[in-house]
């Protein structure tokens, strides 16, 4: 009997659902709020006005975002049928932005189950774009209120977790609910399922490294880009800035489920993608693109992961996963926000 590989709810994601507020800004705006051109940070008090100013001063677009949710949507888009292969958990507010996120999740055919509370408004992320750089400032608000016992532990929700075969959580969620991540990661490990994590940002590797390293022994697939990899290597005292070496060392970190060797996947923008598996490091060139066709690199990393997951959940070989990842990223950077055409053209 052939198992139905694309069952509904076979891919599970949990993270920070945010509404992206995207605008092309100028250097003065970045300087005013001491933002680096290419970075991801959490909003502090000094960024309060930024969210109002960006809307007043620049032409903004609103897109349903949040790293994990983006990746689950892209995976679903790549798979197409059946709908609801991807499940997503996260916390939103009972407000207009929350309604938009629910609507957009429906449109993307993912099975989103939000924990809704009214103490905090739905989270937002300002994507400040200059040329082909993007500086992200996330105001987590409601996203930060996710509670394991109020949502993940509920029987009807946990059943959805149990249905999945592949799990993906962006490192950003390490700042919100470590206990939720560990519950899911341990479930995956104990049942020989695939648990995937993203380093997500240098600040996660630096300031949340204790949380990160509590989860690492359960990680089957680790994603990151070159800046995150360098920050991770520095914090872990790998004593190297070479992406291939970092991949190799991260691959060799202790792991609970010995039935599966960890795979480390590190992207490097337009340069080749580096993958370390049990005993070797391989590189895969990305698809070429004319710089003038690049509209917005904001969703590239999320799209890469989404493409990768779409094949992983179908139990395709590693090189096919990478091919799909490169394809999805190449499509997304030609468009504003993490948006996509109606159907993929991927073989």
State the catalytic residues.
Answer: 302
DSSP string, 213-248: HHHGGG-SEEEEEHHHHHHHHHHTT-----HHHHHH
Half-sphere exposure of 270 (CA within 13 A, CB side): 9
Q: What are phi and psi of 239, to 5 degrees?
A: 55, 40
The answer to whether residues 219 and 197 touch, using CB atoms and an 8 Å cutoff, is yes
Q: What is the phi-psi region of residue 194: left when phi exceeds 0, alpha when psi lies from -120 to 50, beta otherwise?
A: beta
Contacts for 196 with CB less than 8 Å, ≥ 6 apart = 166, 167, 168, 169, 219, 220, 221, 222, 223, 305, 309, 312
Q: Which two tokens stand for residue 91?
A: 């916390």
Q: What distance in Å separates the CA atoms of residue 141 and residue 60, rounded to the nearest whole number?
A: 20
For the record, the structure tokens of 166 come out as 């592949």
Name the pairing type of β-strands 111-117 and 86-93.
Answer: parallel
Pairing verdict, β 11-14 and 166-170: parallel
Residues in CB range of 328: below 8 A, 6 or more apart: 74, 78, 303, 304, 306, 307, 310, 344, 346
What 8-state DSSP symbol labels residue 120? S
C-beta separation of 265 from 222 below 8 A: yes
Could you give the CA distance from residue 94 to residue 191 in angstroms, rounded to a whole number?
A: 35
User: Which of 238, 318, 331, 334 has its CA nearest to residue 283?
Assistant: 318
Residue 219 and residue 262 in contact, taking contact as beta carbons nearer than 8 Å: yes
The answer to whether residues 127 and 134 touch, using CB atoms and an 8 Å cutoff, is yes
């Amino acid at each position: 009997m052939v198992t139905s590989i694309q069952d509904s709810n076979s891919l599970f994601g949990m993270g920070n659902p945010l509404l992206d507020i995207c605008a092309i800004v100028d250097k003065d705006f970045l300087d005013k709020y001491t933002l680096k051109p290419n970075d991801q940070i959490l909003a502090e008090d000094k960024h309060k006005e930024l969210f109002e100013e960006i809307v007043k001063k620049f032409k903004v677009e609103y897109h349903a975002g949040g790293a994990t949710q983006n990746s689950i949507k892209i995976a679903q888009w790549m798979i197409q049928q059946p709908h609801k292969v991807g499940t997503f958990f996260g916390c939103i507010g009972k407000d207009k932005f929350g309604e938009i996120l629910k609507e957009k999740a429906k449109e993307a055919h993912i099975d989103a189950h939000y924990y809704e509370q009214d103490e905090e408004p739905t989270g937002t992320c300002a994507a400040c774009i200059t040329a082909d750089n993007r500086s992200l400032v996330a105001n987590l608000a409601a996203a930060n209120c996710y509670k394991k016992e109020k949502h993940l532990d509920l029987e009807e929700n946990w059943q959805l977790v149990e249905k999945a075969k592949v799990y993906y959580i962006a490192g950003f969620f390490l700042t919100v609910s470590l206990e939720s991540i560990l519950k899911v990661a341990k479930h995956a490990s104990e049942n020989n399922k695939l648990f995937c994590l993203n380093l997500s940002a240098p600040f996660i590797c630096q300031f949340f490294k204790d949380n990160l390293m509590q989860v690492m022994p359960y990680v089957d697939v680790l994603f990151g880009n070159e800046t995150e990899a360098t920050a991770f290597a520095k914090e872990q005292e790998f004593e190297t800035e070479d992406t291939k070496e970092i991949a190799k060392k991260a691959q060799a970190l202790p792991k609970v489920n010995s039935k599966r060797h960890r795979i480390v996947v590190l992207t490097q923008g337009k340069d080749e993608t580096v993958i370390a598996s049990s005993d070797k490091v391989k590189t895969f060139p990305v698809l070429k693109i004319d710089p003038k066709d690049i509209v917005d690199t904001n969703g590239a990393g999320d799209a890469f992961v989404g493409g990768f997951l779409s094949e992983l959940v179908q139990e395709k070989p590693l090189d096919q996963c990478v091919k799909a990842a490169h394809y999805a990223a190449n499509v997304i950077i030609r468009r504003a926000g993490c948006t996509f055409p109606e159907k993929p053209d991927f073989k």
